[in-house]
Amino acid sequence: MSTLTFKTMLASAALVFLAPVSAMAAPVSDVKEFSNNTATEYFVKDDASKYISPYYRYDNGDWGWKHNALAGSGFTSIKLEVSAFDVDASQGEVDNILVFDGSIWQLIGSLAGSNDAWAFSTFDLTGYSWAEAQANAGLQVFMDINAGSGNWAVTLGKSVLALDGGNQQCVPTPGFPCSNTVPEPGSLALLGLAIGGLALTKRRKARG
Q: Is the pLDDT of residue 8 over 50?
A: no
DSSP state of 8: H
15 band by pLDDT with thresholds 50, 70 and 90: very low
End-to-end CA, the chain:
11
pTM more than 0.75: yes
Which has more pLDDT, 50 or 184?
Answer: 50
Q: What is the structure's pLDDT at 138? A: 98
> For residues 65 and 37, what is the distance between their CA atoms, to the nearest angstrom?
9
Cβ atoms 29, 102 nearer than 8 A? no
The chain-wide mean pLDDT, for the chain, equals 85
Cβ atoms 84, 121 nearer than 8 A? yes
Cβ atoms 41, 63 nearer than 8 A? yes
> For residues 95 and 84, what is the distance between their CA atoms, to the nearest angstrom?
10
25 band by pLDDT with thresholds 50, 70 and 90: confident
> For residues 134 and 136, what is the distance between their CA atoms, to the nearest angstrom?
5
82: nearest Cα among 162, 148, 28: 162
167: nearest Cα among 55, 87, 58, 75: 75
Rounded (5°) CA angle 91-160-37: 95
> For residues 101 and 1, what is the distance between their CA atoms, to the nearest angstrom?
58
Query: CA Rg, the chain, in Å?
Result: 23
Q: Is the pLDDT of residue 187 over 70?
A: no
Helix (H) or strand (E) holding 97: strand 96-100
Average confidence (pLDDT) over 135-156: 97
